[in-house]
Amino acid sequence: MSKSSFWKNPILMICLGAVVMGGGIWASNGAPLPKFGSPTSKYASLKPTVRVASVPGAGNSGNLGEMNATFSDLAEAVAPAVVTVTEDPSRGGGSGWVYRSDGWIVTNDHVVGNAKTITVIFADGREVEGKVYRTNDALIDLALVKVDRTDLTALQLTDSSQVRVGEYAMAIGAPFGLQNTVTIGHVSALGRGSNVNDPNYGIRGYAGMIQTDAAINPGNSGGPLVNINGELIGVNSTIVSSTMSSAGIGFALPANMVRAVADEIIATGKFDRGLIGAAIEDVKPYILQEQNLKGGAIVTQIPNNSPSYAAGLRKDDIITRLNGEQLHGELELRIALMEKSPNETVELTYVRDGKVREAKVKLTTPEPVAQAQPQPQLGNPFGDNGFNPFEQDRGEGFGQQDPAPNQRVVLGVQVRAIDDTVRQQFDLPSDVKGAAIMTISPGSLAESLGLKVGDVIVEINGDEITQLQDVTTSLQKSLRSGNVSVVAMRNVDGKMNRFQSQSPIR
């Protein structure tokens, strides 16, 4: 989804393959393994027992012929570990890859949906039924599938904290149902994040994703993104595109996150994680330099009923250590907390106004995510309102036609039902009902309407908004009139003001 167009058109977040980072990078330069999410984690003994064969000539770029052979050898070495995952073998489904030789497979949660069992199709054509293990976590779009096999070739995971922009990357999966498809590109950027609407689950959050220009399309979801040594750097999960096909901007969940999640599910049969109860982001480089910090995560939002607030943390504090271990960024803190359990107490070191402070925080649990009802199609296979540039790939089979651009209207917002957390965040009275705007895409229809984060949409095209599904349904009336009308409520100096705005659709 190109940046110039996706802000103006609801962009599909196509949750695709597996991007895990290449361990050969840290192995070759002798750098120490990270403290969090690394092979030294509490589930280190659960590492794959069979590795992909070494790739002849890997990393040798002496001439074009050798490089060409390296890519071909790489594709052949990785292919046996890549699978197609589907609820119905007659459709393309999504992708996955073998994490352990004794039958553990990783894919995206949005690929398996609510299925208890799934069909796994291996590279040699064999089909096996597998049991699904979900994270049940809106911020973790990962799932494991267990099949009854012990002879599988598994991918090795790299330390994704060592992935560098510009490295070669190869994606393998089943785009549009075309199994064992290989595409090659580079790591385009690191640390990308987004929120995405999954109509069958709710709003998903993504953090620390690896961006790549290797072509990934619907059906690649859950498949691997590997480095030049055949090591997993990430799980392909999303794309930016206005056409439901690759525009050269795809995203993968990093290997270190995958490792932390998979090892816990294998060890315990489920996944849980602790939360400090605060929104965090990477610290801008100039702030780190000004404060002479090695790294950390800055608190961007912190509800006053959260455990971290009770422990003394506030907005703009920079968390630099967890239990005495240095943190280099937001993702490292997130992965560290994935390896902790709810109700466990951790010690956070943070900086405020140049002074180092410490706090003991009792971790809480993620809020349960209500299962959303399937949305009407209306030309969009995801039933999505297009609240941001990313939408998810539901693993549609080969041959499905792309929806015409004029078959849907995109507002360009992320909305959330009003609960106690939202009311507190935006200081909303108890009698206000509607859909609260959490984010707005630059250049979107919502921006042209003058909407802002914190506004509550109460009416669209004359229809009252009582639940999130009403937003998508009411917007479609604009296809007939060519205009959209929105009524919203806004908190101005403690008073809720009602206003109406109209704009032609684009």
Kindly list the catalytic residues.
110, 141, 221
Contacts of 125 by beta carbon, 8 Å cutoff, 6+ apart: none
Report the SS3 class of residue 42: coil
Alpha helices by DSSP H, 311-462: 330-338, 420-426, 445-448
Report the SS3 class of residue 491: strand
C-beta atoms surrounding 497 within 10 Å: 11
d(CA 145, CA 175): 20
Q: What is the CA radius of gyration of the chain?
A: 23
DSSP characters over 95-123: EEEEEETTTEEEE-HHHHTT-SEEEEE-T
The 3-state secondary structure of 151-195, one letter per residue = CCCCCCECCHHHCCCCCEEEEEECHHHCCCEEEEEEEEEEEEEEE
Q: Are strands 18-19 and 224-226 parallel, antiparallel or unpaired?
A: parallel
d(CA 204, CA 197): 6
d(CA 160, CA 34): 10
d(CA 482, CA 484): 7
Q: CB-side exposure of 105: number of CA atoms within 13 Å?
A: 40
277 by Cβ neighbours in 10 Å (0-12 / 13-18 / 19+) ranks as buried
Cβ atoms 168, 181 nearer than 8 A: no
Cβ atoms 231, 47 nearer than 8 A: no
The 3-state secondary structure of 204-254, one letter per residue = EEEEEEEEECCCCCCCCCCCEEECCCCCEEEEEEEEECCCCCCCCCEEEEE
**Where is 265: in which H helix or E strand?**
helix 255-268
**Where is 457: in which H helix or E strand?**
strand 456-460
Report the SS3 class of residue 87: coil
Report the SS3 class of residue 434: coil
